[in-house]
Amino acid sequence: MSEYDSTVEEDFTTDEYGTEPTDDFTAEDSTSYTDDTYTEDAYADDTSSDDVYTTVADTDIDGDGVNESVSYDTDGDGYNETIESDTDGDGWVDTVATDTDADGYSETLLLDTDGDTYLDTYATDTDNDGWVDTTEADTDGDGFLDTYAADTDGDGTFETVQAI
């Protein structure tokens, strides 16, 4: 036979800004049990804490598993919002987008600058020179984009290491 009793006392008041609790939270737990011969009581008395934690919920609107407060791609299309916000390609985020045909998309976002009939956001050869952009970004031919592995002379040692 076992009996469990738990008592919780809450007497919270806050400071003048409504943010800091000024009183303590106290909980008292007790358990009684009988084993055919003895009755035992166990108490956890006056367990208190001055720490109160608040959890702020964040959202993941596009369902990619990354909260929007730290996501660079809030709509989940695979493109950084900063780049998408520069509709005229001048390097500055634009404040007004142009939607001349009222389809809900800015015509300046639907760019095909090389005239190959593929939108620049989907094209693998954005300058239409016959070379895939990732191949062009690997000038030393080591299989790594030069922005990630700068070994421009192809000797197997990154330039940042050689400079040391």
In degrees, rounded to 5, the angle at the alpha carbon of residue 120 between the alpha carbons of residues 110 and 132 is: 170
Domain membership flag for residue 79: no
The whole-chain average pLDDT of the chain stands at 62
More confident residue, 114 or 7: 114
User: 148 lies in a domain?
Assistant: yes
11-43 burial code (b ≥16 CB/10 A, e <16): eeeeeeeeeeeeeebeeeeeeeeeeeeeeeeee
Considering the domain boundaries, does residue 68 fall inside one?
Answer: no
Q: Count the domains in the chain.
A: 2
Domain boundary among 10, 31, 49: 49
| pLDDT reported for residue 42 | 46
Select from 49, 71, 86 the last residue of a domain: 49
Is 147 a residue whose pLDDT tops 50? yes
pLDDT (0 to 100) of residue 66: 67
Domain, as residue range, for 32: 2-49
